Amino acid sequence: MFDVPIDAWYAWLGIAGMSLLTLGIAAGIPAGPTPDAMGVAGTIDRVAASEYPATAEHGLAADQIRLTPNRISLRGPGGATTAVLEFAPVTPARGDDRLYRVLKGEPPDRGFESPESFSQVAAETRTQEPRWRSAPPRLRIRTVTWEGERVTLVG
């Protein structure tokens, strides 16, 4: 009556196997949601497509960001995502303090001698090798037009 059935070791083996399978599945689940690169790309595209000078901000729920003239990538606890920008190229406002100040709202004629030099510095910035950087809490986008030279800054 209190004897162990002959097939009891099979049950224990099955329970151990299911426990390992459940642990493996749980370990593979991401720690959080994937960052929303498509939403950020949509905000960038709306500003870049505007026929008038425009500015916008978009909150980021990501740890790192990589911006190229044609795409944006975000990386966080849930993984990494990339979105293609429809109204490219955009200019990452990095590497030149003058571009960053224009992104923050300063008129371009305060930091640049001419519209051509503004456009040239923006073009040179777009050729820099993109790399992963710490993501700010909010991404700022600004399209500036100065005597026919149009630049969309992102930073």
Using 50, 70 and 90 to split pLDDT, how confident is the model at 23?
confident
Which pLDDT value is given to residue 44?
A: 97
pLDDT in tens, 53-77: 899 999 999 999 999 999 999 999 8
What is d(CA 123, CA 151) in angstroms, rounded to the nearest whole number? 9
pLDDT in tens, 140-155: 999 999 999 999 999 9
Whether the pLDDT of residue 4 is over 70: the answer is no
What is d(CA 54, CA 70) in angstroms, rounded to the nearest whole number? 19
Q: How many residues does the chain have?
A: 155
Which pLDDT value is given to residue 30?
A: 66
pLDDT in tens, 78-120: 899 999 999 989 999 987 899 999 999 999 999 999 999 999 9
Using a 10 angstrom Cβ sphere, with 0-12 exposed, 13-18 middle and 19 or more buried, the burial of residue 63 is: middle
**What is the reported pTM?**
0.80
Which pLDDT value is given to residue 126?
A: 94
